[in-house]
Structure 1
Amino acid sequence: MVKITEDMTIMDVLRQDRETAEIFMKYGLHCLGCPGATMESIGDAGKVHGIDVSKLVEDLNKHFASKA
């Protein structure tokens, strides 16, 4: 099973499962194809956008757990 951490980039997660785009969008991270998505960690993106990173990571991990 995939374990998502806030140190991973958005693109790392999207490469594992494109369906996670909906989760990122729900949290206001809409620029999934921009250069930041490949270089910036989920934690850094969360800080810039003022979102609860721990909740985002939790939701991402729930998504992957449901696929196991």
Structure 2
Amino acid sequence: MINKDMTIGEILDINFKAAEVLMSFGMGCLGCPSARVESLEQACSIHGLNLDDVVEKLNNL
């Protein structure tokens, strides 16, 4: 189960299809070094996204 404290890297390692979901929310820089260590909560904050919406979509993959 994906949660807000997981890094983007961990999420992508669990399910490569998560990249499509994250990109659909406007997170286009998934390959940048900071994305590998940034938490999902941090990424959502930076991109102005609703964290709960993103977590729900990722967990419905």
Q: TM-score range by the shorter chain?
A: over 0.9
Which residue of the partner structure matches residue 53 of structure 1?
51
**Consecutive aligned runs of 4 or more in structure 1 exceeding 2 Å deviation:** none
TM-score, length-normalised on structure 1?
0.85
SS in 1 for 2:2: coil
Question: Identity, % of aligned pairs?
Answer: 41
Higher CA-based Rg? 1
Q: Unpaired runs of 5+ in structure 1?
A: 64-68
TM-score, length-normalised on structure 2?
0.94
Counterparts in 2 of 1:16-27, with a 5 A limit?
16-27=14-25
Q: Unpaired runs of 5+ in structure 2?
A: none
